[in-house]
Structure 1
Amino acid sequence: MSPGMDMTGPAEPHRAVNWSLWVALGVFGLIAAIAVLAPLVLPYSSAAGSLLDRLKPPGTLLRDGTLALLGTDALGRDVLTLAVHGFRTSVLVATLATLCSCLVGTALGVTAGYLGGWTDAAISRAIDIVLVFPAILLAIVIAGLLGPSLVNLVIVLVATRWVVFARIGRASTLSLREREWVRGAFVLGVARPLIIIRHVLPFLAGPLATVATLEFAAFVMTEASLSFLGIGLPASTLSLGKTISEGREHIGQAYWISTYPGLLLVLLVVSIGLVGDNLSERFVSRRERQ
């Protein structure tokens, strides 16, 4: 060995900063902070409006001395307040739908993958039936049957998207149930529910988190689409889709009613999508290293 040879081994590759991930997290965090804190400091009520201040452009000083940063709508309501409250509704619906879809889909998928046999066949056929119909068309039909309400909207979203989590859970469980530690636990007499909880579910956390992030963005868009059509939430509940829909009638003279809530919706969906894509890439690279 030559005297000048380096004994420290090859240097660790420098991991580049993932700017897209941090920018996406920053945008989502900023929007979330505005949604949480803005109602505490905004001087407007989401229902209050003055017909004397209707269709005022952004930056207008209203008759009561307040400033409408994003203008007012056809009822004289502040568009910024409508957008913030609509964002809160969209996030609430998407969060509940994501959690319920993850629980229902994962439970059915893991059950099908671990038990196999007729249970797997029945759940797989149910997944195939749901996948035959376009998600938005199925959501419109179910929403029309159930009627507008927040609970019904969450049921609609879960009914159309639980299959995504079920497919991930089933495919991963089919692979995991053949691993040595799972078969060993079964041979030792460990109950099946405990085997699933201890030896299967922890390995599903990564892919399920990635899918949940992407589905959250899909739920936001679906909720906005249904509210835009007037079949998602009750008329008294604010949402981004409803505000955008109401602004269509005045798009020529008051573009800001639809434009600014639409931009907020786009920023939310894009930032969540970027986070989901980065989580997916990290999960795939980690699995390849293993």
Structure 2
Amino acid sequence: MDTAEEFETHRSRLFSLAYRMLGSAAEAEDAVQDAYLRWHGVEPGQVAAPGAWLAKVLTNLCLNRLTSARVQREEYFGPWIPEPVGTGAGVLGPMETAEQRDSVSFAVLTMMEQLSPPERAAVVLRDAFDYSHRDVAGVLDCSEANARQLYRRAKQHLADGRPRFTSSREQDDELLARFLAAASEGAMAQLEQLLADQVVVWSDGGGKASAASRPVAGRDNAARFLIGLFSRWVNAAQIGFAEVNGVPAVTGWADGELTAFGALELGEGGITGVRLVLNPDKLAFLATQLREPSQNA
């Protein structure tokens, strides 16, 4: 097996790692390509364990990117939401359990923005890739005790920021259908019944598409905003469905272009969050996936 072929056997896993680290499919692809360039510069046979070597190189490339990304995201116009990635074909690994789906949920990826880059690496490597604390320490060039501390702090922050709630795929599908019907039909009362009291709607336009510049909070405010938004979708877009970041989601298409994406978050009392991506730059990766039959949910 030559150098390029060896790398390709690891590409999918590397992308999955980079996406969890960066929250951006485009940046993840760039980081994987940078890792390939590093790999291409190594003499054949010099690396005894290519998978482990590449994971360490990629993790450190992502750590460097996170430092600059934090500044960019602080200056981002309006709410920032991770780029959606279709997971129906296993692009981000298995999505069979609630834990696996939770690891790539928009809520968790957004909360991970508050972690330090080493904390983020520790929790991704440990939870998503089953690294031991010793292996995490090896990747981060720190002591095993320090790796344990990074992981413990990260997990505590994530637990504090998100109450645990588990639902079945059937429940998710049913609720999404009811939500879409109520929002698109302008059925205010029915939509409010689905929303939790403290529901929050985030809409990410990035200054490139019409969206709310701040999160819309509260059942009444959220319902009015969503009905106004979906009324425009119904008239101007073709509505579709796909599995994205481990959950059923709705997509809006116009003239063959993906123009909108939406996913729900569930909790006690109903829908606790709605995440809408309208920024065309953030929809490019998902659009490419969904145009390929093998990627459809």
With CA pairs under 8 Å and 6+ residues apart, which has the higher RCO, 1 or 2?
Answer: 1
TM normalised by structure 1 equals 0.27
TM normalised by structure 2 equals 0.26
Structure whose residues are more often strand by fraction: 2
